[in-house]
Structure formats: C-alpha cells, structure tokens
A and B are shown apart, each in its own frame.
Chain A
Amino acid sequence: MSTLAYLIWAMNILCDTGGQLAFKKAATVPGDGLDRWTAMAADPWLWAGIAFYVGEFVAWLAFLSLVPLSEGVLLGSINIVLIMVAGRLLFAERITRLRLAGILLVAAGVAAVGVGS
C-alpha cells in the first residue's frame, strides 16, 4: 500500500472517530422528543459530526480508489477499536475484559491485513 493510501486511511479513521464522538456529545443534550431534536439541531457538535462525516465520505472514496475493496474494508475495521478507546477516554465508558479481548483481536486482524498488503 502506498504512503498516500496510508495517509488517506488515517484521515478516514480520524474523521470517523471524530464524527462518532461529536455525535455522541450532541446526543447527550437533555430533553425528550421534539425538544431534544431541536436542542441537538442547535448544538454545534451535531454539525461538527456531520462535517466529519462528509470528510470521511470523501476520504473513503479516495481510499477505495487506491486499494482493493476487500483490503480497504478490513483495514477500515480499526475504527471499532479507536472509537471504543476514545469512548473510554472521553466519556469514561467501561472496557471490560471481553471488550479488551475484542479490541485486541480486531487490532490484530487489521495488523495482519496490513502486513499482507
């Protein structure tokens, strides 16, 4: 895989992680029903999440232009790991032993695909 492909891959993962975290932050606004949706629409975090997603959409298209689909989809799975770790750091979400095992297995799987690329 070329250096450019690695850079675009990193950009895609950063946008995905940033987008999910921004959505999570926006989703924690208080309220119910329509009030909650109105508050979310006024929350800059929601729009930051959407902006991240647009960036991710473009980066993913560029990434799949450079690598085979099978390889790209497997390498993209690292988002599962990063989002869980970021959730632990920023939102104090728990990481149980089973979650840790899952994270390590996904990371090892992505590393294996990376080695073979």
Chain B
Amino acid sequence: MVNPEIQGRVYPPTAPYLVGREKVREFARAVLSTSPLHLDPEAAKAAGYADVIAPPTFAVTVQEATLAQLLADEEAGVDFTRVVHGDQRFTYTRPIVAGDELTATLTIAAVKQLGGHSMVTASSDIVDAKGDHVVTAISTLVVRGDENA
C-alpha cells in the first residue's frame, strides 16, 4: 500500500532537460506523426516557432525523471513491479520547442485507496529556463494490491 502521507509532498526540481531537435524528430517518428512542424525546422519557422515543436505527448520524457523520484522515495512505498498507468494528461501554456531547457517539479496531488489498490496522482509542473510555465503533466498510477496479503 502506498503511504497516504505523501499526499501534498513536493519533490526538488529535476536537472534541466535540453530538448534536442533530433530527439523531437525521433519521438515524432516513433508516434507515427508526419506533421512537418515536428520534423522540418523550416516548416516550423514558417509557422512562427523558433524550431521544430514536440508532439504533445513528448513531455512524458521530461516528466519521467519526476516519476523516478517518486519510485525512489522509500517512504512512499510504491512497488514499481505493481504499477499500472491509469491515465495521463498534459496541459500546455505553449508547445515545447527544440532548444528549450526544461525543469520539472513533482507534486503528489492525491493518494487514494480503492479496494486493495492505491491510486497516486502525480502532477509535474514543467517550466523553461526563464521559469515560465510550459506544461503540466499529470499521471495517475494504479499500484495493485498484494493478492496474497
């Protein structure tokens, strides 16, 4: 069972993540996108961006370091082998652009017990090098209870 006392906990900001152009293109191809905005810097510039923009789910790669903080927190008691991804949401102020240096701060928004399972809502605020908000990535993780308990 996940420790309910971690609700409200805020973790230290992650190390800055530099968004590379080729990484954005690789990610866009991996999610089967053909939009030139993700692949062609000239097309992105023509649309008013400094460089290629990332597909909306790209923020998960930046958020990942925050979820690693949660899993590494012994007090939280999250057993990684029992974690199922329940849902995911991204709320943007602006698209992620290649060249952005992003820092993520994790807040545990909620811990709920449902039957034998725990549901943890992890909210990661992602800001740019100026400290301006870019996107909030929210994951609900379902931690399955121990059937043998």
Our verdict on whether A and B bind, yes or no, reads: no
Which residues of A pack against B, CB within 8 Å? none
